[in-house]
Amino acid sequence: MLSTRQVRVYATEMSEPELQTNPIPCTVLGGGSFGTCLAILLAEKNYAVDLWARDAKVAEAINRHHRNPRYLTEYRLPDNIRATSDLETALRGKEVVLSVMPSASVREIWQRGKDSLEPGSLVISASKGIEVGSGMLISEVLKSILPEETHERLVFLSGPSFAREIAESRPTAASIACDNETYAIAAQTILSSPHFRCYTNTDVVGVELGGALKNVIAIAVGICDGMNLGLNSRAAVITRGLAEITRLGAILGANPLTFLGLSGMGDLVLTCTGDLSRNRNLGLEIGRGLKIKDALAGLTQVAEGVITTKSAYELAQRHSVDMPITEEIYRVLYEEKDYRSAVHDLLNRQLRSEHE
């Protein structure tokens, strides 16, 4: 397994060709779009990759046809990706584990898999969300489950990155955050490629919050776009959304500058404006008049913003943080407030300084 010394070697001494000729065993937990694209990314760097999917039929189809039958179906998966639905098989003997699952599944899956995680493994989480009820970030959930000796090797990946564009080798940049910068650098080296560029960060809270809360704002922007309120309103919601994300982040100990970076403004702009954004598209349907239950029923993939809205609202209430956009989206999604009334109430709030 990866010792501290070995991590430094990977991060500072091994060139790209050496990594390609001396691959380390990796696994990706999560057979959705993002898990699949990250498995492709690793496989193209010639790592041996296990891809864990909850559904045994999906794993079998991947191994037989070298395609994911549900997500990114048009992309052939490299031969060095092996799928499995057995969690112990996926984790045993792996030095690098990418945890890429919906935030609501993180606790359940890692409770099952924690005893199979090899000592010294580097765990890279790409789940974006806040746990409902506890208000925990994914980093806090993982630390509550995994042994303490693994905590310094928990790394968090976030940033403006649609899975489809990564699979197509389109240029992408992302943040890699870890309390221990040595392991952030290790993960940076393992994941980075000519088309996927990672930047290190030690602000885990800020990187996680930016990745989670932007989904809430994207629903709001989608509603405005669905109502044809114009580009001015889109820019206003994005900007004021960033302000309330930063307010909550500061209370929780994040560095405000993080929210100006890839996992903050970068991911926010992409998710609020990109046609591939599930959260924006959900908002679009609501803003066009579709009932909430029908809009949710039409989703083919998880829109993390729905769950995160509830968690973010509860966190804001707990810490007395003013998050008006988040509050209105919560009332639309969970209290059946009319979306037009939500927009009206936002526009008619008491006037104040921009820096409040």
Which of the four pLDDT bands, split at 50, 70 and 90, describes residue 22? very low
Residue 174 contacts residue 161 (beta carbons within 8 Å): yes
Q: What's the pLDDT score for residue 16?
A: 46
In this prediction, residues 114-138 reach a mean pLDDT of 96
Q: What's the pLDDT score for residue 13?
A: 44
β-sheet bridge partners, residue 197: 173
Taking alpha carbons only, the member of 155, 238, 167 closest to residue 198 is 155
Query: Tokens at residue 275, please?
Result: 């046609």
pLDDT at residue 7 tops 70: no
Residue 50 contacts residue 38 (beta carbons within 8 Å): no
Q: What's the pLDDT score for residue 6?
A: 55
% of the chain residues with pLDDT over 90: 89
In this prediction, residues 282-306 reach a mean pLDDT of 89
CA distance 226 to 5: 53
Which of the four pLDDT bands, split at 50, 70 and 90, describes residue 296? confident
CA distance 118 to 116: 6
Q: How far is CA 117 from the centre of its chain?
A: 21
More confident call, 299 vs 330: 330
CA distance 193 to 173: 10
pLDDT tens digit string along 204-263? 999 999 999 999 999 999 999 999 999 999 999 999 999 999 999 999 999 999 999 999
Amino acid of residue 99: S
Domains of the chain, first to last: 4-202 (3.40.50.720), 212-347 (1.10.1040.10)
Query: Counting Cβ atoms within 10 Å, is residue 48 exposed (0-12), middle (13-18) or buried (19+)?
Result: middle
Q: What's the pLDDT score for residue 11?
A: 45
- DSSP 8-state class, residue 280: H
pLDDT tens digit string along 323-335? 999 999 999 999 9
Whether 45 sits among the annotated catalytic residues: the reply is: no
Q: What's the pLDDT score for residue 356?
A: 81
Strand 154-158 relative to strand 172-177, pairing: antiparallel
Which of the four pLDDT bands, split at 50, 70 and 90, describes residue 2? low
pLDDT tens digit string along 143-192? 999 999 999 999 999 999 999 999 999 999 999 999 999 999 999 999 99
Residue 31 contacts residue 59 (beta carbons within 8 Å): yes
pLDDT at residue 309 tops 50: yes
Q: What's the pLDDT score for residue 340?
A: 98
Q: What's the pLDDT score for residue 131?
A: 95
Task: Pick the catalytic residue from 214, 291, 293, 310.
Answer: 214
CA distance 157 to 168: 19
pLDDT at residue 266 tops 50: yes
pLDDT tens digit string along 39-74? 999 999 999 999 999 999 999 999 999 999 999 999
**Roughly what angle, to the nearest 10 degrees, separates helices 231-251 and 324-334?**
100
